[in-house]
Amino acid sequence: MYDKLVRSYNKELSYNGVEGERIARRLHAISRIGRTKQEGSRRLAFTPEETEAKEMVWEWMEKAGLQVRKDGAGNIIGRFEGNSSQTIISGSHLDSVPNGGHFDGPLGVLAALEVAQAWKDTGFKPEKSYEVVIFTDEEGARFRSGFTGSQAMTGLWEQEVKEKLTDENGKTFSQVLQENGLSFDTMRSAERDFRSIEAFIEVHIEQGKRLEKEDLPVGIVQGIAGPCWLNVRFHGTAGHAGNTPMNDRRDALVAASQFVQAVEELPPLISRSSVATVGKMEVSPNGVNVIPGEVNLTVDLRDIHEGNRDKLKEAVLLLAGKIADTRGVTVTTEEKINVTPVQVNRDMQQRAAQAMYDTLKQEPFFLPSGAGHDAMVMGQKTDIAMLFTRSKDGVSHTPEEWSSLDDCTQTVHVLKKLIEDLCRN
């Protein structure tokens, strides 16, 4: 990965303490942890792989002169103490989806860290305090319920929801916390007093094609769509595939199939920014010659406007009930996650846009984020900004995910300028 990153790198982009080759080395080092057979990343939350990645970045934080600690949710926080207790925070996550890419999350962590490293190397001292954070369990791949670290830091989590979570091996969320030296009590202790936190800025790959179409390395995010995840379970009757007449079946999979196809037609009826995805399905008993008796599936609903997203949710629930009635099966639904969409206020957008223009001499490009990020949770407690880095072909959550080192380094320069502006009294 390192060789591919630096092969076409423009070394003139390494200046003011920011070193593209260092970013490449660190991206490569993280990518080797949890590497899959398909050359992707597998660092699920609260696993040895996520822990190993955090510990490695912890060492880099210390080398950058940061005071590092772990909070009660497993978040890693490196702090540069300024002349003021007022604090600017930047960072992202290191956990991944089961066979994901190498930029989603790590780029945001390393961009925030590169700012601190550049300050140390050039002797720059910000007036306000600065923190680099690695959030725990952003992706939610293990428990189908993410943003654990940022929710703990903001206090925006519900213990009764977490208590119901289990992973694919049947381990409860509470058990996994204990295995990692954590608990619900320690999670509560991770909540911060946001009166001293002025802003949170997150760098992330775009995971879309807008910047590529505009031929721009960096974009300014206007708002972040809040995901709502629904578990939908159709209950029918399992039976012999040969001895059960077609007119005497309660096939859960046929009902689920009709539901999946119909869900796709709902978002355009709500708004242009609404989307819905059925991304996971489990069929039981899952036998070649057995009529499916139960199907459990997930629906991912998103919109940058909460009202539209909630309208879409109600439409999906109504659809599930109608199809169940028509097919003679029953259906149960459970909301697994519901995160409020967050708008980036105009002042923060303009500050980020000015930093982009000052650094790259390019007119800023504004775009929405359809994906959820820790910034969305942090944005419920403080001002936020987000910078997107161009994604090749818009591909993400796969081993083919890629952003050029030129684009990554230019994003770091914009981030550095923005943070330095925010750190002035």
**314 and 361 housed in the same domain:** no
The Cα–Cα gap between 67 and 215 comes to 39
| Residues in CB range of 288: below 8 A, 6 or more apart | 241
Residue 377 banded pLDDT, cuts 50, 70, 90: very high
198 is in an annotated binding site: no
Phi, psi (degrees; rounded to nearest 5) at 378: -60, -30
**86 and 105 housed in the same domain:** yes
On whether the CB atoms of residues 187 and 158 are closer than 8 A, the answer is: no
**42 and 67 housed in the same domain:** yes
On whether the CB atoms of residues 101 and 400 are closer than 8 A, the answer is: yes
Average pLDDT, the chain: 96
Q: Residue 305 pLDDT more than 90?
A: no
71 is in an annotated binding site: no
**209 and 92 housed in the same domain:** yes
Per-residue pLDDT averaged across 211-222, rounded?
96
Q: Which residues pair with 233 in a beta bridge?
A: 296, 332
The Cα–Cα gap between 383 and 201 comes to 9
**221 and 232 housed in the same domain:** no
Torsion of CA 99, 101, 102, 106, to 10 degrees: -90
- The CATH number assigned to the domain holding 255 equals 3.30.70.360
**193 and 296 housed in the same domain:** no
Identify the pLDDT of residue 314: 98
Tokens 């029953």 identify what position? Answer: 330
The Cα–Cα gap between 149 and 373 comes to 11
Angle, vertex CA 415, rays to CA 207 and CA 303, nearest 5: 35
Phi-psi region of 24 (alpha: psi -120 to 50; beta: other; left: phi over 0): alpha
CB count within 10 Å of CB 222 equals 15
| Residues in CB range of 153: below 8 A, 6 or more apart | 71, 73, 75, 133, 135, 190, 191, 192, 378
Residue that terminates a domain, selected from 338, 367, 389: 338
| Residues in CB range of 257: below 8 A, 6 or more apart | none
Tokens of 348: 């923060």
Q: Which residues pair with 337 in a beta bridge?
A: 229
Alpha-carbon radius of gyration of the chain? 23
**298 and 348 housed in the same domain:** no
Closest CA to 330 of 298, 300, 294: 294
The Cα–Cα gap between 197 and 247 comes to 63
The helix (run of H) or strand (run of E) holding residue 201 is strand 197-205
On whether the CB atoms of residues 92 and 54 are closer than 8 A, the answer is: no
The pTM of this model reads 0.83
Phi, psi (degrees; rounded to nearest 5) at 263: -60, -40
Identify the pLDDT of residue 153: 98
139 is in an annotated binding site: yes
Tokens of 201: 């800025």
Residue that terminates a domain, selected from 338, 354, 387: 338
138 is in an annotated binding site: no
Domain span at 301: 228-338
On whether the CB atoms of residues 220 and 364 are closer than 8 A, the answer is: yes
Identify the pLDDT of residue 180: 96
Identify the pLDDT of residue 372: 81
**365 and 333 housed in the same domain:** no
Strands (E), 81-189: 84-93, 128-135
Residue that terminates a domain, selected from 292, 322, 338: 338
Tokens of 185: 């009590």
Q: Residue 331 pLDDT more than 80?
A: yes
Residue 272 banded pLDDT, cuts 50, 70, 90: confident
% of the chain residues with pLDDT over 90 = 93
Residue 304 banded pLDDT, cuts 50, 70, 90: confident
Q: How many domains does the chain have?
A: 2
Per-residue pLDDT averaged across 92-114, rounded?
97
Q: Residue 425 pLDDT more than 90?
A: no
Closest CA to 106 of 13, 200, 33, 167: 33
On whether the CB atoms of residues 35 and 7 are closer than 8 A, the answer is: no
What is the DSSP secondary structure assignment for residue 327, as one 8-state letter? H
**272 and 357 housed in the same domain:** no
**235 and 220 housed in the same domain:** no
Identify the pLDDT of residue 183: 97
Cα→Cα distances 376→88, 118, 156, 255, 338, Å: 16, 27, 11, 35, 12
- The CATH number assigned to the domain holding 218 equals 3.40.630.10
% of the chain residues with pLDDT over 70 = 100
The Cα–Cα gap between 236 and 221 comes to 44
Identify the pLDDT of residue 145: 84
Sign of CA dihedral 57, 59, 60, 65: positive
Identify the pLDDT of residue 273: 81
**350 and 323 housed in the same domain:** no
The helix (run of H) or strand (run of E) holding residue 76 is strand 76-80
104 is in an annotated binding site: yes
Identify the pLDDT of residue 111: 98
**184 and 195 housed in the same domain:** yes
